Structure 1
Amino acid sequence: MKVVEFDFDLPEELIAQTPIEPRDHSRLLVVFKNRDGWKEGIFKDIVNYLNPGDLLVFNDTKVIPARLYGNKKTGAVIEVLLLTSLSDDKWEVLVRPGKKMRIGDEVIFGNGLLKGKVIDYTDFGGRVMEFSYKGDFDQIIDQLGEMPLPPYITAELKNPDRYQTVYAARRGSAAAPTAGLHFTEQLIEDLRDKGIQTAYVTLHVGLGTFRPVKVDEVEDHVMHSEFYEVSSKTADLINSIRAKGGRVIAVGTTTTRTLETVADENGIIHPGSGWTDIFIYPGYKFKAIDGLITNFHLPKSTLIMMVSALIGREKVMQAYQYAIKKRYRFFSFGDAMLII
């Protein structure tokens, strides 16, 4: 399968630069798995498309201010993006300019408040960096770091909390699970009042989710591992909902990847934690989810491939062309799609 089959032309002005206020007033395109056509509305209309007994599963990861700027001893400015925590003080990182950072090189942040030393290379062109500091690492990162907005967002984000879901709880992501950005606390309450239940998993979003596909054949792409955790409470609730005939709707592609990682061939969810590099593209048979809430994704990305696996590439491309015609907003701060 050719990667180019998932390409499309997107006018630059449709790349959302700022979030919609309030969160749940972004536009919504409802796409049906088993019939043609779609419905339009605003995001809070999802209440009308979900039934009592359905379950929404959210990714409760919390974005850390993972972008750091420091200096080498030569004075050269180095940008470091924290990706994955390997231990208390060791992280996989991306560095720019990368060619200037070799094993043994050190970067100083915040006038010495934090120091990072390159101790290894990664298989994706990054580095393993060991940090030294006094005090609490999280507090230092909160003090020195910036929100790691994607490179296609060039506008200033006035409120960093808008790149955070309202239910974010567990620190560790280098990017937001953006489908969840549309939810308000009130909308979640409205859904619960209708009898729609909620559950939470964790997947710390890293390189696996946003790494570009640079091969020609889809099957040749290798996903980078990301850490996940699914509790017994969540697993039991999902299995109970499925047994009663309710639908499991994943909020976002990261939630989907987590659930499909821990589901067995019969669709039973098993609790646990670990690292997943699952790559979902057309031909994949879903075991854990019945529907998906997601944003409009980058051309040729693993995310549009996952959506195509759920409803078919042709239907996805038709929906995307319709969204472009109707001037929907794309990517992280863009509009949303509900697939049921």
Structure 2
Amino acid sequence: MKVDLFDFELPPERIALRPAVPRDAARMLVLDGDSTSDRIVRDLPLCLRAGDMLVFNDTRVIPAQLDGRRGDAAIGATLHKREGPRRWRAFVRNGRRLCGGDAITFGGGVVAHALDRAEDGSWALEFAGDEPVELLLGRAGRMPLPPYIAARRTPDERDADDYQTMFANEPGAVAAPTAALHFTPELMTALAKAGVEQATLTLHVGAGTFLPVKGDDTVEHRMHAEWGRIDPATAERLNAVRDRGGRIVAVGTTSLRLLESAASEDGRIQPFEGDTAIFITPGYRFRGVDGLMTNFHLPRSTLFMLVSALMGLDRMQAAYAHAIANEYRFYSYGDSSLLLP
């Protein structure tokens, strides 16, 4: 499909620079079949059925943005995928100044060696020393806010909490599964009372989620791979929900993409551990999910293509026009939508 079909005009003032307080006070646009309604996230128990299951991503964002030097050259690195115990693939600013074997010195005495450059321009970095890389990143790294926020304000201490979900448990993401930022313990209690179940999986979100689609046609785009896991017990619970007539509602496109990667042709969720580079565009047949809760996405992005595949392109263009006209807040710290085809 032509990429320009997924374009729309977004006024810059609609981009949220801080999350709603409290988190579950964010607005929520509900598309349920043919109906459209304006709600808030706290209304979610009223929008689902007893027996439905929400599926959350329990990845934890690491301080993956690093500033350093190679000799007299300033080098910036954004880690996006772990390739080994001490090896990470990274997008590098000023990467033209690097050669294989070069040492980059970051803050806190942290040193990494540039190993090889991939076709997409990313570098493999190997961190020196014996300390766990997580400790090194804690000294030298900072929270990798999305570029459309970081370009408009300086990241600060609030972001260390704001950009982490209440489910964050497994370190490894370089971007938050932002749909789950809206959840609070109080909302989870209300959902449980309403008979809505919950499950977690892990998908370590990579910085590739922010990369633009550069070609004119979707077939030209290559997704970056991300590592995920669904354990056998979770797969069994998910299948039991479907067997009882409940719906599987993914919280976030990351959860959805892993569920679809793990689903067999007959819709059964299989245990999964490994990389996925699934790219979902209109015409895709969904097998693993029955709905999605997600924030509002960038024009021409792979994520807007995904929600258009779920609900229909015309439906989503109309929904986004409604959201813009009614001053919904967009992107990672913005408002939410509940999509039930």
Give the Cα–Cα distance (whole angstroms) in 1 for the partners of residues 99 and 300 of structure 2. Answer: 31
The letter for the 1-side match of 2:87 is K
Cα RMSD, aligned residues only = 1.1
Corresponding residue number in structure 2 for 1:209: 209
The question of whether the paired residues in 1 share the 8 Å contact of 2:249 and 2:291 is answered with yes
Deviation digits for residues 93-112 of structure 1, max 9, x if unmatched?
0111122222222210125x
Kindly tell me the number of residue pairs found equivalent between the two proteins.
Answer: 336
Match of 2:13? 13
Q: CA separation in 2, counterparts of 1:59 and 1:239?
A: 18
Please, which of 70, 73, 80 is the counterpart of residue 71 of structure 2? 73
Give the CA deviation at 1:161.
1.0
> Which whole-Å CA distance do the structure 1 matches of 2:206 and 2:198 have between them?
24
Equivalent residue, structure 1, for 2:141: 145
Q: Which amino acid aligns with 2:317?
A: M
Partner of residue 247, structure 2: 247
> Do the aligned residues in 2 keep the contact of 1:6 with 1:304 (CA within 8 Å)?
yes
Give, in whole Å, the separation in 1 of the partners of 2:283 and 2:207: 23
Aligned 1:178-327 pairs, distance under 5 A: 178-327=178-327
Cα distance in 2 between the residues matched to 1:59 and 1:83: 17
Match in the other structure for 1:51:
49
Contact 1:16–1:329 at 8 Å: present in 2 too? yes
Find the aligned partners of 1:10 and 1:233 in 2 and give their Cα distance.
Answer: 42
Counterpart for residue 90 of structure 1: 87
Q: Would you say 1:133 and 2:119 are equivalent positions?
A: no
Runs of 5+ consecutive residues of structure 1 not aligned to the other structure: none
For the 8 Å contact 1:95–1:101, the answer to whether it is kept is no
Whether the 8 Å contact between 1:92 and 1:122 is mirrored in structure 2 is: no
Q: Is 1:53–1:196's contact at 8 Å kept on the other side of the alignment?
A: yes
Distance 1:272 1:312 in 2: 28
Q: CA deviation at 1:308?
A: 0.3
Percent identity among equivalent residues?
45
1:168 matched residue in structure 2: 168
* TM-score, length basis structure 2: 0.96
- The letter of the residue matching 2:147 is P
Maintained 8 Å contact 2:229/2:274: yes
Q: Give distance in 2, aligned partners of 1:280 and 1:134.
A: 40
Tell me if 1:110 matches 2:107. yes
TM-score by length of 1: 0.97
Q: Which amino acid aligns with 1:26?
A: A
Q: Structure 1 CA distance, aligned partners of 2:18 and 2:190?
A: 26
8 Å Cα contact 2:227-2:276 kept in structure 1: yes
CA distance in 2, matches of 1:311, 1:89: 41
Any idea what the Cα deviations from partners look like across 1:112-165, whole Å, max 9, x if unmatched? x21111110123211011110242321221122100001110234441111000
Aligned letter for 1:22?
P
Please say if 1:42 is aligned against 2:40.
yes
Superposed CA offset, 1:157-200 (max 9, x none): 44111100011000000100110100112211211121111001
Look up the SS of the partner of 1:133 in the other structure: coil
Residue 323 (structure 1) shift: 0.4
Match of 2:128, SS state, is strand
1:207, distance to aligned residue in structure 2 (A): 3.6
Q: Secondary structure at the match of 1:268?
A: coil
**Regions of 4+ moved over 3 Å:** none
Structure 2 unaligned blocks of 5 or more: none
The 3 A distance-change label for structure 1 pair 335 and 157 is: farther
Task: Check 1:157–1:326 CA distance in 2 against 1; reply closer, same or farther (3 A cut).
Answer: farther
Distance 2:92 2:300 in 1: 24
